[in-house]
Amino acid sequence: MRGHSFHVTPDLMKAADVAAKQVLDIKKGEHVLIITNPEKDVYGIAQAMYVASLNVNASPVLMVQPKKTSFDYAEPAVIDAIKTVPNVIISISAERMGKDREALKNPYKGTNGKTYTHIFDYLLYEAKKIRAVWSPKTTFDMFVRTVPVNYDEMRKRCARIADQLQNANEVHVKTKLGTDVVIGVKGRKAKVDDGDFRTLGRGGNLPSGEVYISPQLGVSPGVIVFDGSITLDETVVIKTPVTVKIEKGFVTGIEGGKEAKMLEAYLAKAEEKPFEMAKNGEIDEKKAKELAKNARHIGELGIGTNPNARIIGNVLEDEKALGTVHFAIGSNYDHDAVALIHSDGIVKKPTITVDGKPLTL
């Protein structure tokens, strides 16, 4: 793989075994699909997950495709492999798994008007025929430090936070740097990424450790000041805070320095790309308008719960750190606001209230 040779170290193997047994509960004879790229860290971690699957007498397959960005398609063979409906899917990618060309053009229909533009999402969230983990941009150090945690304790923390969000009307987030945003959550269900992906229809990140919710459509006003990191084409560590103005759940203004300009360019690209796709016959004009509109949509509020996570300039870990929240611009997780992107930005040291009451972590 581009000259990479790799030896699975004891620490990495320990973390992979934890993921296989405690997080995914992979069993003897189960079919496990592992998707990765020929990049040193993710390829090595994928190899470790392959060995961990063998260690429990499962039947793993390791697929390697070129690195994919938010705007690239997955290789057809990868999509075809997912369609075989393996028991477990593990995506250890240098950036993204890649989009589903066919489903973008002809989305899978779910219940209550939901649509799914990727076979992976349909099988996980709607059909509930798989369980899964995905680790975009993970590293050896991150995997070894943040995967072996006390899952009983972290799951209790996640459940406690989710209980406070259930049946709530709004979540108010403030910081000393200027974040002051009210996220409407009426009618929304909080989801937990607590490392418990042992049953069909459950999936999340490795490292795990967050509670997240899709904001109510068209209501959230305020200001978000990102001061940790943000995912664009690559993870960007924020040196000059990025101030994002929000009206009715959409970004209406971006201020700051270099990082603010990078975010604006990224969102502009996410608005333009759908119309290029429509011009090429990949999607129709109606879908292009929907994807372009939601490029500036606030699609997620997340609260970090992993005690081993810290802010290192990699959003996959940063968003899991205790004492942080994150907001995503783009697609939400309720599948009623779809975009080509889902760009997470970290806010440090927030004060959080739920319907006027302080959130208990």
Angle, CA of 342, 145 and 2, to the nearest 5°: 70
Are residues 202 and 67 located together in one domain of the fold?
Answer: no
How many C-beta neighbours within 10 Å does residue 215 have? 28
- The model's confidence at residue 2, banded by pLDDT at 50, 70 and 90, is very low
C-alpha of 218 from chain center: 22
Are residues 156 and 107 located together in one domain of the fold?
Answer: no
Give the mean pLDDT of 154-183: 98
Q: Which helix (H) or strand (E) holds 120?
A: helix 119-121
Q: Which helix (H) or strand (E) holds 324?
A: strand 324-330
pLDDT tens digit sequence for 143-156: 999 999 999 999 99
| 319 three-state secondary structure | coil
pLDDT tens digit sequence for 108-127: 999 988 999 999 999 999 99
Q: CA quadruple 286, 292, 298, 302: dihedral positive or negative? A: positive
How many C-beta neighbours within 10 Å does residue 235 have? 20
Intra-chain end-to-end CA distance of the chain, in Å: 43
Give the mean pLDDT of 21-32: 98
- The residue with tokens 């003897």 is 28
Angle, helices 258-279 vs 285-293, to 10°: value is 170
Question: Which residue segment(s) compose the domain that 125 sits in?
Answer: 10-140
Are residues 171 and 195 located together in one domain of the fold?
Answer: yes
Which of 185, 159, 161 lies closest to 171, judged by CA? 185
Is 4 among the domain residues?
no
- The model's confidence at residue 350, banded by pLDDT at 50, 70 and 90, is very high
Predicted pLDDT of residue 287: 96
CB 273 within 8 A of CB 294: no
Are residues 191 and 134 located together in one domain of the fold?
Answer: no
Percent of the chain clearing pLDDT 90 (strictly above)? 96
Are residues 220 and 277 located together in one domain of the fold?
Answer: yes
- The model's confidence at residue 349, banded by pLDDT at 50, 70 and 90, is very high
pLDDT tens digit sequence for 32-90: 999 999 998 999 999 999 999 999 999 999 999 999 999 999 999 999 999 999 999 99
Give the mean pLDDT of 169-177: 98
Q: How far apart, in whole angstroms, are the C-alpha atoms of residue 220 and residue 172?
A: 10
- The model's confidence at residue 234, banded by pLDDT at 50, 70 and 90, is confident
Percent of the chain clearing pLDDT 70 (strictly above)? 98
Is 55 among the domain residues?
yes
- The model's confidence at residue 8, banded by pLDDT at 50, 70 and 90, is confident
Is 2 among the domain residues?
no
Count of structural domains within the chain: 2
- The residue with tokens 């790799």 is 6
Are residues 117 and 177 located together in one domain of the fold?
Answer: no
Are residues 27 and 64 located together in one domain of the fold?
Answer: yes
Are residues 101 and 35 located together in one domain of the fold?
Answer: yes
Are residues 155 and 242 located together in one domain of the fold?
Answer: yes
Is 145 among the domain residues?
no
Q: Which residues of 72-102 are buried (b: 16+ CB within 10 A; e: fewer)?
A: eebbeebbebbeeebbbbbbbbbbbbbbbbb
- The model's confidence at residue 6, banded by pLDDT at 50, 70 and 90, is low
